Amino acid sequence: MINFSTNQTTFSHSKRETAKAAIATLPYPTTKWEEWKFTSLKAVLDTEYATSNSMISKELGLCCIPNSDAHTLVFVNGTFHSACFNSEKKENVVVKRWSELDENDKKQIENYFSANILPEKDIFTAWNTAYFEEGVYIYVPEKENIETAIHIQHLTDSEENIAFQHRNLVIVGKQSSVKVIETQHGTSKSNTLRNAITEIFVAENANVEYIKIQAEGDKASHVESTILTQKADSKATLFAFSFSGEIVRNNLTVNLEGKNIESNLYGSYLLSGSQHVDNHTEVHHKEPHCYSNELYKGIIKDTATGVFNGKI
C-alpha cells in the first residue's frame, strides 16, 4: 500500500483537512467499479514504495534542451532540481513552485485551489489534495499574450520503488493566452508511481494550450487528473500523449461555464509489451452555444491494452 503523508504545506488549510479526513474512509478502486472495470490497480497497490528520494540523476542531461528559450522547471523523482532551470523572466507571467509562494500568491490561489474537485469522492484525489509534494503555479494576468512556452519536465530515475505526487495550478486571466508543455521521461528500472493533479482555469476571452507527454517507461504507473474550467468566449486545446507505462490512468474533466466556449481535446497512445493506458474524459456543457471536440487514437501491439471512455 501507499502512504503519501509527508507534505507540510500550510495554505488552503480547510481543504487539506477535509481531504485528510476523507482518506480514512475511501476505498481504492477495483474492477468491480464501472469506471474502473478495465483497469486493475492491484499490482500497483501491492507494491511497496518509498515516498522520497534525494538522489541526483546521472541522466539529468536528458532534460536539458540546448538553446531553448522556454521557461523551464525540472523535477527528478518529484523533487525540483535547478539544473537546466531557465528563470529569465521575459514576459509578465508568474511561474513558481509551491515552496516559493508568497502571501499574495496564497491569497490568489485560495479561490482556485481544489475549486472544482471533490477529494472526498476519490482516494487518489484526496491523497494529492492533502499531501502533494511539489508542483508548479502559473498565473497570467489580464490582457497578456505569453509567447514563450512554459515547460515542466519530469525525470524518474530511481534504484528503488518510489511514489510521489505532483500538482499544477494554471490561472489564465481575461483576454490572455499561454502555452504549457509537460513532459515525463524515465530511466528507472524500478517501479514508480506518480499521483498528479493539474487544475486549469481559463477566464473570459482567454486562450490556453496544454500539452502533456508521458514517456516514463514500462515500470512507471500514473494516476493523473486534469480539471479544466472555462469561462465565456474562451478557447482551450489539450493534448495527451502516452508512449509508455505499466498502468496509466488519465482522468480529464472539462467544465464549460459560459457561452461561446471552444474546447479541443486530443490524445494518442503508442503501446507495446504489456503496457496499459486508460483515458477517461468528461465534458460538462453547463451553458448553451459551446463547442467541444474530442479525438483520441491509439496504436497497440503485443498484449498491450488501451481504454477510452468519453462522456458529454
Q: What is the DSSP track for 136-160? A: EEEEE-TT-B--S-EEEEEEE--SS
DSSP state of 111: T
Type of residue found at 61: G
231 to each of 105, 190, 261, 309, how far by Cα in Å? 22, 42, 7, 25
310 to each of 151, 152, 246, 250, 279, how far by Cα in Å? 28, 27, 22, 12, 8
**Which cell goes with 9?**
504545506
What crossing angle do the helices spanning 123-131 and 13-23 adopt, rounded to 10°? Answer: 140
Q: How many CA atoms lie within 13 A of 145 on its CB side?
A: 2
Report whether 231 contacts 259 (CB < 8 A): no
Any residues with CB less than 8 A from the CB of 24 and at least 6 apart, and which?
A: none
Q: Identify the pLDDT of residue 158.
A: 86
Neighbours of 295 (CB within 10 A): 9
- Give the Cα separation of 197 and 137 in Å (integer): 12
DSSP bridge partners of 293: 264
Q: Identify the pLDDT of residue 14.
A: 84
Q: Identify the pLDDT of residue 79.
A: 87
By the 10 Å C-beta count (0-12 exposed, 13-18 middle, 19+ buried), 10 is classed as exposed
Q: Identify the pLDDT of residue 51.
A: 81
Query: pTM score, two decimals?
Result: 0.93
- Give the Cα separation of 304 and 310 in Å (integer): 20
Could you give phi then psi for residue 207, rounded to 5 degrees? -140, 130
Q: Identify the pLDDT of residue 312.
A: 95
Per-residue exposure over 70-95, b if at least 16 CB sit within 10 Å of its own CB, e if not: bbbbbbbbbebbeebebeeeeeebbb
235 to each of 50, 226, 263, 295, 297, how far by Cα in Å? 40, 16, 6, 16, 22
The candidate with the shortest Cα–Cα distance to 206, out of 172, 181, 238, is: 172
Report whether 163 contacts 132 (CB < 8 A): no
**Which cell goes with 247?**
498502468
**In 3-state terms, the chain is what percent helix, strand and coil (to 5)?**
15, 45, 40
Digits of tens for pLDDT over the chain (312 positions)?
Answer: 566 666 555 667 788 889 999 998 999 999 999 999 999 999 999 999 988 665 555 555 555 565 667 788 999 988 888 765 665 566 799 999 998 899 999 888 989 999 999 888 899 999 999 998 889 999 999 999 999 999 999 999 888 999 999 999 999 999 999 999 999 999 888 999 999 999 999 999 999 999 999 999 889 999 999 999 999 999 999 999 999 999 999 999 999 999 999 999 999 999 999 999 999 999 999 999 999 999 999 999 999 999 999 999
Q: Identify the pLDDT of residue 193.
A: 94
